[in-house]
Amino acid sequence: MSLFGLFKPRAATAPVARERLQILLAHERVALGPDNLIAILRDEILATIAKHVEIAPEAVKVTMGQQGAVSTLEIDVDIPTEKITASLARQMPTKAVA
Amino acid sequence: MSKVVVVTSGKGGVGKTTSTAALGAALARSGNRVCVVDFDVGLRNLDLVMGAERRVVYDLINVANGDAKLAQALIRDKRVETLSLLAASQTRDKDALSEEGVARVVAELRGLFDYVLCDSPAGIERGALLAMRFADEAVVVTNPEVSSVRDSDRIIGLLDSKTLRAEQGHRIQKQLLLTRFDAGRASRGEMLGVADVLEILSIPLLGIIPESEEILRASNVGAPITINAATSQAGRSYEDAARRLMGETVPMLVPGEKKSLLNRILGRRAA
């Protein structure tokens, strides 16, 4: 450490804390909020698919993101090919990203 | 009209118990009938901070389960006669508390006191949820530090969804008590400022309590700071917060905003 370093004010860390919190809480409020939107959506999507195809609960992934002013909802469903009957296979893609 | 206030935070060690004792004593000194209730079953400490640890015979669980009458369990403070304590159980496990039991105790306390302050345990488990369950208002104790602010945000979400008032479609008033605040460090950008925390949590400010040696001194001797050192900066900050809780308008001072040495010298010269 140079002698000048002793007198140089240290970089402010509070703005970093503030920004990290704002980003984190924006995500957590959506995921853990009172409505728990993601969990509800996930359960309902799973129930709808399960009516037609045998599916593991972990196969449905719902994530919500935010880029600037736009919120995106991403639904990712993995369905094993062998579980789909021939007729369903023609109508439904194996992976749907909305 | 009786008010039930939960003092909560999510994170441990931010000052819930200290604040419950300090606010309770300040409210009682202004003539209100106040009961402070410890919900931290298995890890009770409000009795110790209040200096009543050797007077606990019956506790919250005894009353909730009907093993003792409320009057037998209430411990009247020896310094402020309108202040009472209902201790938590130290021996029973935390599942011993039932929602019906707590509902009955809180209802009975409402009939006896102007303010019932519920000291919540840390975390978001059963004890914390029961402490907030029947509250009309909440004091969210937060340190200007990332983990505390995050946990307070989580608790605010729970207050809006898990309390009886919220479930009945009412609004639950939540106010921020910023504790262990160091104005010098905040002004140098080393600590989250008051405005930062308020903007992130977006609830109104009840008070700012400075980091203070008096707090430890008060808990060492088992006296709420608003009794032990009422005129100290932290003591006055708690008094102001208690007055705001009573609905008074008190100007918000940022405690401990010290002038720099240079400013002090210049200020003295100018005077």
- What are the boundaries of each domain within chain B? 3-270
pLDDT at A88 over 60: no
Residues 6+ apart with CB under 8 A from A41: A62, A73, A75
Which of A25, A29, A40 best tests the B interface by mutation, with the highest count of B CBs <10 A?
A25
* B178 and B209 Cβ atoms separated by less than 8 Å: yes
Q: Is residue A32 part of a domain?
A: yes
Full domain range(s) for residue A63: 12-91
Q: What pLDDT, on a 0 to 100 scale, did the predictor assign at position B127? A: 94
pLDDT of residue B271: 35
Considering its fold, how many domains does chain A have in total?
1
Residue ranges in chain B modelled with pLDDT below 70: 94, 257-271
The pLDDT, as a whole number, for residue A46 is 84
Contact (CB<8Å) B196/A13:
no
Contact assignment for A14 to B196 by CB distance below 8 Å: yes
**Cα-Cα end-to-end distance for chain A:** 54
The pLDDT score that the predictor gives to residue B269 is 44
For position A3, what pLDDT does the model report?
64
Q: Which CATH fold topology does B3-270 show? A: Rossmann fold (3.40.50)
ipTM over 0.85: no
Asked, for residue A3, whether it belongs to a domain, the answer is: no
The pLDDT value given to residue B268:
47
Above 80 in pLDDT, residue A5? no
Helix (H, G, I), strand (E, B) or coil at A21: helix
Measured from the Cβ of residue B60, the count of other Cβ atoms closer than 10 Å reads: 28
CA distances to A65, B14, B120 from B141, rounded to whole Å, are 30, 7, 11
Q: For A17-45, what is the mean pLDDT?
A: 80
In a domain, A50, yes or no: yes
